[in-house]
Amino acid sequence: MSNIRFKALEVTLSRQRSEFKLPEKKVSEYFGEMTFNREAMQEYLTREAFQKLINTIEKGETIERKIADQIAAGIKSWAISKGATHYTHWFHPLTGTSAEKHDAFIVPVDGGRAIEAFQGNELIQQEPDASSFPSGGIRNTFEARGYTAWDPTSYAFIMESTLCIPTIFVSYTGDALDYKTPLLKSIASLDKAATAVCKYFDKNITKVYPTLGWEQEYFLVDAALFKARPDLSLTGRTVFGHASAKDQQLSDHYFGAIHERALVFMQELEYESHKLGIPIKTRHNEVAPNQFECAPVYEETNISVDHNQLLMHLMEKIARKHDFQVLLHEKPYKDVNGSGKHNNWSLATNTGINLLSPGKTSTSNFRFLVFLANVLKALYYHSDILRAHIASSGNDHRLGAHEAPPAIISAFIGTQLTETLNLIEKQTKKGKVDANGFNLNINIPKIPEILLDNTDRNRTSPFAFTGNKFEFRAVGSSANCAGPMMALNTIVASQLKQFKKDVDELINKSVRKDEAIFQVVKRYIKESKKIRFEGNNYGDEWTKEAEKRGLPNIKNTPEALKALVLESTVKLFEDCKILTSRELEARYIIQLENYTKKIQIESRVLGDLAKNHIIPIAIRYQNTLIENVKGLKDVLDSKTFVKLSRNQMQTIKEISEHVEEIKTQVSLMLDERKRANRLEDQAEKALAYNRNVLPYLDIIRKHVDKLELMIDDELWPLPKYRELLFIK
């Protein structure tokens, strides 16, 4: 049989259990062994080089040339001892993947021989030929000059016999062309702003850094079935497919026993992750069939972002070894849940305090409320910036589809904290002063120590306080966390700077420090009240209520991206020195182009499949029916024939109608694509794709999915949902 679907099914059904033997060593013995971590640094660097490197990591000190050479020599020896033959600068261009160009550790010497070499300058800076990375017009292609520069705060690691050095990627003129550059700047800006605020409470706090713990959702599908679906292979999602009679209705997959083939994949993924120092801790089944999640222990944000990028790469690689394809797309299948990536975010200090954890004393509670109020206010005034940083064609399918938060950004803080904030709002009388000069015993309502109450959780909120951190749930599964985290760090940094200004202004007017802080916090709580929502975010009532409150509800990517170039955004990013207006404009253009291209590809794939796969099969099946009807006519008397051929005739008619509609709509879609392609302005083009091309995908799909139910299963060319979702 030539049907590729049946060939793929045969391969899938004959799969043997894939091979992976769990290591005999304990995880503590191999964790981080492929990273140039502190232990490796100590072993391979001179005392001087080690200390200098630590100072760079911790205090941002620059490294002199001589020391750089020493560090490079140390890293080289370590890497070679681990079997590395090449090195690469590893960076995250705005395409959303990670990029690398490998060079061997090799320098020819006299006599036709070669030695392994790696110099300080090769560690610190490289000039990849980067002409085909997106730059949004910043870097003319003929110039093609971009630089990668070492980020010493993220450990170098070895993958596939290659030493990978985490780097930033900037243009010749110094404009950021990647995700990491602005992320690092946002971390520095947040450190400065938050540390200044912490000084009101504790002079020992000299550093504040954001922490991130992501939860990565994904699907696994058998590699043979994946290859038999050109739409999945080319776009990451299925553009056709009738719902399976059974999918997730019974909720029998969520937290169920993990299927053996998937489990073996996870074991190998975890083993490889641990060797690379990625602290993966949790694994479980998700809601949809063949959907899973993994999560690490949280880390400093820059490191955690790198680890997530690395993990996504490992997943794809290891999945192939187990004859799986991993699907990181936000919505691979219609009508079953899509995938997200919750970003758990908090602020930690050099003194070991979590600033979003309610403290034991009145002072620490007060400090907690200061940070809580600032985050809420930042979110209220700049939710559009966060929304822009989670926008993608894939995530458009998820947000607001009653499986993920809506496109309306709001915050959930739970009943206890809501009550606390309400009390503060009403608070008028001044209290007694305590030993630290704070009068909080009276003015600040006591917050219960343990807020981690699992019953008080709202799983529908896009930005939920979960006891000691915020969980940003609207991030897409394929996203680079650096985007949303950079945005969040920036709006909070800017807000904290404003807070310090507001408080100092009052202090300069001779208001006592604690009273000044209290007044400002109280004002912020009032001003940002509209961002708080404790109810069901999936309900239609919330959409109406949010509209009344004036909260934006931006449904698609081209509209959401506009926030990147608003005057208010540019001012905020320039004030905090994170991104310039030029860089923001470039990012805006890149994201728009990216959106347009993705919809364009989906539309083309759908058109091709409809015309070349579906219609010919529909006609073939229809011809069989026609032959059958003709035969019936020959053998039956005319009265019986009319009676018994009615349904068949109806089917023949319906098939013709669907085929006709598919042809017409595919051609109308093509016209719309041509019209959109003629638009010069990227924003107009992306909007045209959104408004005029995208709707055809749904219209055409409806007809194809109807045909799937009508046509002989033996003829249907594409693996069906029940096979993609259930065949192991």
Tell me which residues touch Mg ion (CB under 5 A): 215, 342
Least CB distance from residue 237 to ligand ADP, whole Å? 25
Q: Which stretch binds ligand ADP (CB under 6 A): 38-46, 225-233, 289-297, 436-444?
A: 289-297
The token pair at 257 is 């026993």
Q: Which stretch binds ligand ADP (CB under 6 A): 222-230, 467-475, 563-571, 590-598?
A: 467-475
Least CB distance from residue 712 to ligand ADP, whole Å? 45
Residue 211 near ligand ADP by CB under 6 A:
yes
Q: Count CA atoms within 13 Å of residue 552 on its CB side.
A: 17
Residues numbered 335 to 354 that lie near ligand ADP (CB under 6 A) are 344-346, 354
Residue 215 near ligand ADP by CB under 6 A:
yes
Residues numbered 352 to 391 that lie near ligand ADP (CB under 6 A) are 354
162: CB partners within 8 A, 6+ apart: 84, 85, 86, 87, 88, 100, 102
Q: For residues 146 and 414, which CB has a smaller minimum distance to Mg ion in the complex? A: 414
- Cα dihedral: 144, 150, 156, 162 (round 10): 30
Q: For residues 356 and 409, which CB has a smaller minimum distance to ligand ADP in the complex? A: 356
Query: Distance (Å, rounded) from C-alpha 190 to C-alpha 375?
Result: 12
Concatenate the DSSP letters of all residues of 4-63 into one string. Answer: HHHHHHHHHHTPPPPP-PPPSS-HHHHTTTTB--HHHHHHHS-HHHHHHHHHHHHH----
Least CB distance from residue 6 to ligand ADP, whole Å? 40
> Given candidates 31, 298, 371, 499, which one binds ligand ADP under the rule CB under 6 A?
298
> Given candidates 468, 519, 543, 581, which one binds ligand ADP under the rule CB under 6 A?
468
Query: Distance (Å, rounded) from C-alpha 151 to C-alpha 167?
Result: 5
Residue 295 near ligand ADP by CB under 6 A:
yes
Q: For residues 16 and 454, which CB has a smaller minimum distance to Mg ion in the complex? A: 454
Residue keyed to tokens 């991030």: 475
Q: For residues 210 and 338, which CB has a smaller minimum distance to ligand ADP in the complex? A: 210
Q: For residues 212 and 525, which CB has a smaller minimum distance to ligand ADP in the complex? A: 212
Residue 128 near ligand ADP by CB under 6 A:
no
550: CB partners within 8 A, 6+ apart: 530
Least CB distance from residue 458 to Mg ion, whole Å? 12
| CA distance to 338, 402, 467, 670, 716, per residue, from 237 (Å) | 10, 19, 36, 20, 19
* Sequence-ordered alpha helix ranges (H) in 93-179: 120-124
208-222 and 146-150: which strand pairing?
unpaired
Q: Count CA atoms within 13 Å of residue 267 on its CB side.
A: 15
Q: For residues 124 and 464, which CB has a smaller minimum distance to Mg ion in the complex? A: 464
Least CB distance from residue 563 to ligand ADP, whole Å? 25
Tell me the residue number closest to Mg ion, measured at CB: 342
**Which residue, among 109, 107, 50, 110, has the nearest Cα to 78 in the 3D structure?**
50
Q: For residues 354 and 581, which CB has a smaller minimum distance to ligand ADP in the complex? A: 354
Residues numbered 1 to 60 that lie near ligand ADP (CB under 6 A) are none
CB contact burial 280-312 (16+ within 10 A = b; e otherwise): beebebbbbbbbbbbbbebbebbbbbbbbbbbb
The token pair at 431 is 């209290």
Residue 131 near ligand ADP by CB under 6 A:
no
Least CB distance from residue 303 to ligand ADP, whole Å? 12
> Given candidates 114, 297, 619, 642, which one binds ligand ADP under the rule CB under 6 A?
297
Residues numbered 396 to 435 that lie near ligand ADP (CB under 6 A) are none
Tell me the residue number closest to ligand ADP, measured at CB: 213
Q: For residues 93 and 213, which CB has a smaller minimum distance to Mg ion in the complex? A: 213
Least CB distance from residue 282 to ligand ADP, whole Å? 6
CA angle (490, 417, 531) in 5-degree steps? 45
Q: For residues 264 and 295, which CB has a smaller minimum distance to ligand ADP in the complex? A: 295
153 binds, among Mg ion, ligand ADP, none (CB under 5 to 8 A by kind): none
Helix (H, G, I), strand (E, B) or coil at 130: coil
591 binds, among ligand ADP, Mg ion, none (CB under 5 to 8 A by kind): none
Query: Distance (Å, rounded) from C-alpha 86 to C-alpha 335?
Result: 45
Least CB distance from residue 294 to Mg ion, whole Å? 12
Least CB distance from residue 555 to Mg ion, whole Å? 24
Phi-psi sector, 550: left (phi>0), alpha (psi -120 to 50), beta: left
213 binds, among Mg ion, ligand ADP, none (CB under 5 to 8 A by kind): ligand ADP
Least CB distance from residue 349 to ligand ADP, whole Å? 12
Query: Distance (Å, rounded) from C-alpha 673 to C-alpha 452?
Result: 51
Phi, psi of 106, deg, nearest 5: -140, 135
Q: For residues 217 and 384, which CB has a smaller minimum distance to ligand ADP in the complex? A: 217
> Given candidates 93, 146, 213, 717, which one binds ligand ADP under the rule CB under 6 A?
213
Query: Distance (Å, rounded) from C-alpha 158 to C-alpha 167?
Result: 14
Q: Which stretch binds ligand ADP (CB under 6 A): 28-36, 292-300, 427-435, 685-693?
A: 292-300
8: CB partners within 8 A, 6+ apart: 222, 224, 225, 227, 228, 719
Residue 469 near ligand ADP by CB under 6 A:
yes
- Contact positions vs ligand ADP (CB under 6 A): 211-213, 215, 295-298, 344-346, 354, 468-469, 471
